[in-house]
């Protein structure tokens, strides 16, 4: 019975991973493009929205983390109930940006501000609960490695949303088709989150259920007597946590850049006449950036299990530096090669990011043992991680848009740029695509070297990865 319950919890985790992937991949891929090229938001409003968004990001993660770990309301007493009750609002926050409030610059600016606030509020609340669910379904490292694979399978299915939207909207040329499809995607994500909310039990929930207690508070009651500040100081004092979050800040900066600007830069650097023999290639290229990372994780988990997540992540930084240098030396006049480079850069960055729950879970376990807690403060660890790293989500597009507009991107649609100006803009885009990974990869390689937990758990026998997905779930 316990084994069946564990398998059900793992399947529920995969369900939320698919739901997350469905809406987050397409939201990040399209929202900048839609507000810049369809709603024509003014730069001042774009930067104001991102600046306010950055402040809200710094507040909501620790706030929701503390609420989820130390309060016992119906919305927060279990991880699954947090997901269950927030699911419809999360789906709605995905749909809001795709329906214009009007062409007035103020309305467009307010639309973006509300979009980012609503989206990130629900993303944070559900994301913290889902991340804590990963950590608390089981402390067994084999089970956690199964969850990485199951989550990747869920994300792989969910990543199809970009390809579907590209097809139904004709790369945003048919915006009504885009709107209708986005509603369908939002409804599908809600149903998947609802399944998780009904079936995603942690090991602590299962222990209470097996003892005849069907519902109880899943928190360490002693946490209610400790302030957020004191708990956060205990977390931040850990050098492994500091090493991880600094590295993660740069990873989020890079993945946000690729998610928001791959289409923007891809449309400019790879013109349709450059690939006229393969007219389908660009749409496939955009869609592949969403499912290739998951295929990479699923297919290489046996190798990851052998060398450990620490070395795997380290190798990804070395690849990032090498590939950036190589592409820069080759130049931008090779469109198919440039598309391959962008796809692989996005693929490796997102694939490694999907593994980051592993080191965070080890940090949670270490904190629990060090401070003799009866229950892990998973949400607080994930929340403090987000407190440091989430600003990268705003800083990345702000800095990139500022650079691009300096070289005339805002005037591109007005057809006022000369050929030399357009060439200069394209050179700048290419430079950003190459130099950013080199700099970020170098900084990550340095900061990651201070992480000392290493492969405390991931160096166990790799038998889990030889099983097929059916064996995992049946």
The encoded tokens of residue 119 equal 């989206």
Cβ–Cβ under 8 Å, residues 30 and 262: no
> Residues 398-422: pLDDT tens digits?
899 889 888 888 777 667 778 888 8
Averaged pLDDT, 263-287: 72
> Residues 128-172: pLDDT tens digits?
899 888 888 887 777 887 888 898 899 888 878 888 998 899 888
Question: What confidence score (pLDDT) does residue 280 get?
Answer: 66
Averaged pLDDT, 174-199: 94
What is the rounded CA–CA span in Å between residue 474 and residue 458?
Answer: 24
> Angle of helix 175-199 relative to helix 2-33, nearest 10 degrees?
160
Please report which residue ranges of 42-78 form alpha helices under DSSP H: 43-70
The encoded tokens of residue 168 equal 């139904």
What is the rounded CA–CA span in Å between residue 413 and residue 422?
Answer: 11
2's enclosing H/E stretch is helix 2-33
Looking at every residue in the chain, the average pLDDT score rounds to: 83
Quickly tell me which residue has 């097809």 as its tokens. Answer: 167
- What is the three-class DSSP state of 173? coil
Confidence of residue 471 (pLDDT cuts 50, 70, 90): very low
Please report which residue ranges of 35-174 form alpha helices under DSSP H: 43-70, 79-95, 105-137, 141-158, 160-169
Residue among 251, 252, 242 nearest 381 (CA): 242
DSSP 231-286: HHHHHHT-HHHHHHHHHHHHHHHHHHHHHHHHHHHHHHHS-GGGGTT-TTHHHHHH
Residue 171: half-sphere exposure toward Cβ, Cα within 13 Å: 14
Top mean pLDDT of 221-235, 307-321, 367-381, 406-420 is at: 307-321
What is the rounded CA–CA span in Å between residue 77 and residue 82?
Answer: 8
What is the rounded CA–CA span in Å between residue 150 and residue 156?
Answer: 10
DSSP 399-444: HHHHHHHHTTGGGTTTT---HHHHHHHHHHHHHHHHHHHHHHHHHH
> Of 72-81, 92-101, 125-134, where does mean pLDDT reach its minimum?
72-81
> Residues 8-30: pLDDT tens digits?
889 999 999 999 999 998 998 89
What are the backbone angles phi and psi of residue 102, rounded to the nearest 5°?
A: 135, 170
pLDDT of residue 297 exceeding 60: yes
Question: What confidence score (pLDDT) does residue 277 get?
Answer: 65
Quickly tell me which residue has 């409003």 as its tokens. Answer: 45
Please report the domains of the chain, with CATH numbers, ordered by start residue: 2-212+223-459 (1.20.1250.20)
Whole-Å CA distances, 382 to 22, 125, 130, 298: 22, 11, 10, 24
> Residues 352-397: pLDDT tens digits?
888 888 899 889 888 888 878 777 788 888 888 888 888 888 889 8
pTM (two decimals)? 0.75
What is the rounded CA–CA span in Å between residue 191 and residue 214?
Answer: 24
Identify the sign of the CA torsion 98, 344, 387, 226: positive
Quickly tell me which residue has 């090991």 as its tokens. Answer: 203
pLDDT of residue 216 exceeding 60: no
> Of 101-115, 223-237, 317-331, where does mean pLDDT reach its minimum?
223-237
Residue bearing the bigger pLDDT, 391 or 474? 391
Averaged pLDDT, 320-334: 92
Residue bearing the bigger pLDDT, 313 or 301? 313
Residue among 190, 205, 231, 251 nearest 383 (CA): 231
Averaged pLDDT, 200-223: 59
> Of 44-58, 74-88, 223-237, where does mean pLDDT reach its minimum?
223-237
């Amino acid at each position: 019975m316990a084994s069946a319950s564990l398998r059900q919890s793992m399947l529920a985790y995969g369900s939320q991973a698919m739901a997350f992937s469905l809406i987050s991949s397409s939201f990040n891929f399209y929202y900048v493009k839609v507000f810049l090229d369809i709603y024509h938001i003014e730069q001042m409003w774009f930067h104001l929205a991102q600046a306010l968004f950055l402040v809200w990001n710094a507040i909501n993660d620790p706030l929701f983390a503390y609420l989820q770990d130390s309060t016992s309301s119906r919305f927060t007493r279990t991880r699954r109930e947090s997901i269950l009750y927030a699911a419809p609002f999360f789906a709605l926050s995905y749909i809001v940006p795709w329906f214009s409030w009007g062409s007035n610059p103020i309305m467009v600016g307010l639309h973006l501000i509300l979009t980012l606030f609503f989206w990130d509020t629900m993303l944070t609340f559900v994301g913290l609960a889902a991340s804590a669910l990963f950590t608390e379904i089981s402390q067994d490292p084999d089970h956690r490695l199964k969850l990485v694979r199951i989550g990747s399978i869920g994300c792989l299915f969910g990543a199809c949303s970009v390809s579907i939207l590209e097809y139904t909207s004709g790369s945003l040329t048919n915006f009504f088709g885009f709107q209708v499809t986005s509603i369908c995607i939002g409804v599908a994500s809600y149903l998947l989150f609802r399944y998780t909310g009904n079936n995603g039990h942690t090991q602590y929930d299962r222990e209470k259920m097996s003892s005849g207690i069907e519902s109880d508070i899943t928190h360490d009651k002693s946490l209610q007597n400790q302030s957020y500040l004191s708990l956060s100081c205990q977390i931040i004092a850990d050098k492994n946590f500091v090493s991880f979050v600094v590295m993660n800040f740069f990873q989020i900066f890079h993945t946000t850049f690729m998610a928001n600007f791959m289409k923007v830069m891809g449309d400019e650097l790879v013109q349709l006449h450059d690939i006229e023999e393969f007219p389908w290639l660009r749409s496939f290229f955009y869609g592949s950036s969403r499912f290739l990372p998951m295929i990479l994780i699923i297919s290489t988990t046996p190798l990851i299990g052998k060398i450990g997540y620490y070395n795997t992540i380290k190798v990804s930084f070395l690849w990032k530096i090498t590939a950036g240098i190589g592409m820069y030396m080759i130049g931008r006049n090779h469109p198919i090669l440039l598309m391959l480079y962008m796809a692989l850069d996005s693929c490796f960055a997102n694939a490694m990011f999907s593994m980051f729950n592993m080191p965070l879970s080890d940090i949670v376990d270490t904190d629990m043992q060090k401070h003799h807690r009866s229950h892990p403060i998973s949400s607080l660890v994930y929340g403090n991680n987000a407190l440091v790293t989430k600003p990268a989500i705003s800083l990345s597009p702000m800095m990139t848009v500022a650079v691009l507009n300096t070289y005339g991107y805002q005037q591109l649609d007005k057809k006022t740029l000369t050929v030399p100006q357009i060439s200069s803009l394209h050179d700048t885009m290419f430079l950003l695509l190459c130099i950013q990974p080199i700099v970020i990869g170098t900084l990550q390689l340095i900061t990651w070297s201070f992480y000392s937990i290493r492969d405390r758990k991931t160096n166990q026998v790799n038998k889990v990865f030889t099983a097929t997905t059916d064996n995992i779930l049946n």
